[in-house]
């Protein structure tokens, strides 16, 4: 279980770096709202990683901080950025589910209980990215559309910062 949780630390850390790279790309494209949104998600993924580190240490295990993989840094457009984020969240969800299965198989009730927070969190993350993809489809393409997409992500970032529902 400890080995699998340490692998999840790497996954969450890589996700954080991926979102940070997305934020940088958005910033470079003048998409300030989108840059803020992805920077917030980078920090959130880092918090997910640290939560795992602390749990492993709390149960008298040894958390291992890995080297992280350099994330993609160039994208064609904002749609590709959000689609990549959505696919990344789907991979994380599958990984969490495997951890839950392993905890059940090993009768590790404490870890199973700990992982339930991640199960709920991943549902929220996937729903959020799907909704953004749907809004991008509704808004369409082009310079004006890009402005509205950026505003939408800016509003989402502000909503997440205050802890309100979108």
**Rg for the chain, CA atoms, rounded:** 17
CATH number of the domain to which 73 belongs: 1.20.1260.10
Q: Give the C-alpha separation, 20 to 81, whole Å.
A: 12
Per-residue pLDDT tens digits of the chain, which is 166 residues long: 999 999 999 999 999 999 999 999 999 999 999 999 999 999 999 999 999 999 999 999 999 999 999 999 999 999 999 999 999 999 999 999 999 999 999 999 999 999 999 999 999 999 999 999 999 999 987 888 999 999 999 999 998 877 655 4
Domain that residue 28 falls in: 2-162
C-alpha separations of 153 from 54, 78, 122, 146 in Å: 31, 11, 19, 11
The pLDDT of residue 166 is: 44
Contact 1, 104 (CB under 8 A): no
Q: Say what the pTM is.
A: 0.93
Q: Give the C-alpha separation, 28 to 22, whole Å.
A: 10
Count of domains for the chain? 1
The pLDDT of residue 143 is: 80
């Amino acid at each position: 279980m400890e080995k699998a949780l340490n692998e999840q630390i790497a996954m969450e850390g890589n996700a954080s770096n991926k979102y940070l790279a997305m934020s940088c790309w958005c910033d470079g494209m003048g998409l300030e709202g989108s840059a803020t949104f992805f920077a917030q998600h980078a920090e959130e993924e880092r918090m997910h990683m640290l939560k795992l580190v602390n749990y492993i240490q709390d149960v008298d295990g040894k958390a291992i901080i890995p080297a992280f993989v350099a994330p993609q840094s160039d994208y064609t457009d904002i749609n590709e950025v959000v689609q990549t984020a959505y696919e990344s969240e789907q991979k994380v969800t599958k990984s969490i589910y495997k951890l839950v299965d392993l905890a059940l198989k090993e009768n590790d009730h404490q870890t199973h209980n700990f992982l339930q927070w991640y199960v709920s969190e991943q549902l929220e993350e996937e729903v959020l990215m799907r909704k953004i993809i749907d809004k991008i489809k509704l808004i369409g393409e082009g310079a004006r559309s890009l402005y509205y997409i950026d505003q939408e992500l800016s509003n989402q970032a502000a909503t997440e910062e205050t802890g309100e529902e979108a």
